[in-house]
Structure 1
Amino acid sequence: MLRRLSTMLLLGCTLSGSIAAQVAAQPGEPRFALEVERVAGADGGKVYQIKSSAKVAAMPGVVWGILTDYEHFADYLPNLHSVRVLSRNDNTVVVEQLGEARFLFFSQAIRLVVQVHERAPDRIDISLVEGDMKVYRARWELTPLAGASGTRVEYNATIEPKFSVPEAVETSVVRKDVAAMMAAMLSRLDRRE
C-alpha cells in the first residue's frame, strides 16, 4: 500500500503548491478526489500531504477485509512487487513492501517496513518503521453509506522520500503513483466480493 506512496505512495502532472482533482483511471472505475500538497515538514524539509476519498459499492466489512489482506496487495497494485507480513500481535501488524517508482526514464526501488494499527471496523493507521522514506504516515478510514449502498473510503498520508530527484519530477512521481494506487485499490474495493 505504502510502496506506492513514493511510487505511490506509492501512484502525471507537475504540481506546484496544491492540486485537487476528480480522477477516474479507466471507464467504469470509481472516481475519487485527490489532493496532493507539498508543505514544510517538522524537520525543515518538504513533505507531501495527500488526501483522497471515494465511494465504493462494497460494504464496510468487505472493504476492511481487502485493506487488511496485505499479502495480496501486489496482485493488483501497480509497481508493487511483493508484500510480506513480518509479525502480527493482536491489532498491530508489521509489513514489508517492495516496489518501485517510475517516471519516464527514472526508476527508484522502494522498500518500506511499516507498522499497521488496525482499529476495526473503520480505521487503519500506518507508520514508518524503516525504509526508503524519511516520513511516512497514512490512514484509511471507512464510513458506511446511507441505505447500505456501499462505503466511503478516505486515504490520508504524509510522506517524504529519502531519495533525491528534481522537485518537478519528484512531485510528478508522487502524484502519478498516488493516483494509480488509489485507482487500483478502489477498483478492487468496488468489486463487492
Structure 2
Amino acid sequence: MPVRAIATLLALALLLPGVPGAVGGAMAQPVDVAAANRDGFIAVTASAELQVDPRTVWAVISDYDHLAEFIPYMRSSKVVQRDGNKLQVDLAGELAFLFFAQPVEVRLEVVETPQRRIVAHAVRGNLRAMEGRYAVEPLPSGLVRLSYSGGLAPEFPVPPVIGTVVVRMVLEKQFRALVAEIVRRDSVAHGTAAK
C-alpha cells in the first residue's frame, strides 16, 4: 500500500501518532511505536514521556478544529456537534500516490474524560472500521506520559507484513508531529520558545 495512503488513513484516525529521540529537548525517553495486522485490522500503539504541562498535552490532542494544521496528510478537521463531553468530529484527507488519488472522509464519535483520556470510533465514512484512545498520565517523576492505542480497517486489502511496517513508519512521523506541537505550545506558554 502506498505510504501516503496509509498516512492519510492514520491521520484521519484523529488519535494518531515520532521517532526515537528528543523533540525540542522535551522528551525524556524515545517514542515507542508498534503496529500489527490482525486479520485486516491494523492495530497501533504509541507513547512518549514529555517534560511539559499536562494541560498543554490535553489542549493539543483535543484541538479538533485545528488538527489539520499540524497533522500531516489531513485536509480538514471540524467539530460538527458537541453535547458535554461527547462530540462528533468530521475529518477529511486524501489517499494519493503517483497516479492514484482517493479522498477519505470519516465522522468520529468522541468521548472525552477531560485532562485524562479521549476515546473515539468511526460512525460514518469510507473506512470499514476505525477506533482509538489517547491517555494523558502525569508521572511521579514530573514527566507526562502520552499514550495512544487503536487502529483501523481499510476498505481495500493491505499486505500483512509490508503494510504493518509502513504503518509503523507513518505513525512515527505523525506522532512526532503531534509531540512537536505539544512541545512548541508548552514552550510558548512558558516563555521558553526559541527567539
TM-score, structure 1 as length reference: 0.77
Whether contact under 8 Å (2:24, 2:183) holds in the other structure is no
**Where in structure 2 are the equivalents of 1:54-93 lying within 5 Å?**
54-93=48-87
1:174 Cα shift?
2.8
**Structure 2 letter corresponding to 1:144:** P
Deviation digits for residues 47-83 of structure 1 (CA, Å, limit 9, x no counterpart): 1110110012222111111111101111111111111
C-alpha deviation, 1:168, in angstroms: 6.0
The structure where strand makes up a greater share of residues is: 1
Aligned CA distance change for structure 1 residues 173 and 132 (closer, same or farther; 3 Å): farther
Asked if structure 2 preserves the Cα contact closer than 8 Å seen for 1:8 and 1:178, the reply is no
Aligned residues of 2:23 and 2:180 also touching (Cα < 8 A): no
Hey, which of these two has a bigger chunk of helix by percent? 2
Aligned mates of 1:66, 1:49 — CA distance in 2? 23
Q: Number of matched residues?
A: 174
What runs of 5+ residues in structure 1 fail to find an aligned partner? 12-21, 41-45
How far residue 10 of structure 1 moved from its aligned partner, in angstroms, is 2.7
Counterpart for residue 153 of structure 2? 160
Structure 2, unpaired ranges of 5+? 13-17, 190-195
Q: Report the RMSD for the aligned CA atoms in angstroms.
A: 2.8
Using the alignment, how far apart are the partners of 1:112 and 1:59 within structure 2? 31
Matching residue's letter, 1:39: R
Deviation for aligned residue 1:170: 4.2
Distance apart, 1:150 and its partner CA = 3.2
TM-score by length of 2: 0.77
Identity %: 28
* Equivalence map 1:104-183=2 (5 Å): 106-147=100-141, 149-164=142-157, 170-171=163-164, 173-183=166-176
Q: Which moved more, 1:174-183 or 1:61-70?
A: 174-183
| Cα distance change, pair 176–99 in 1 and its aligned pair in 2 (3 A) | farther
Structure 1 residue aligned with 2:193: none
Does 2:88 match 1:94? yes
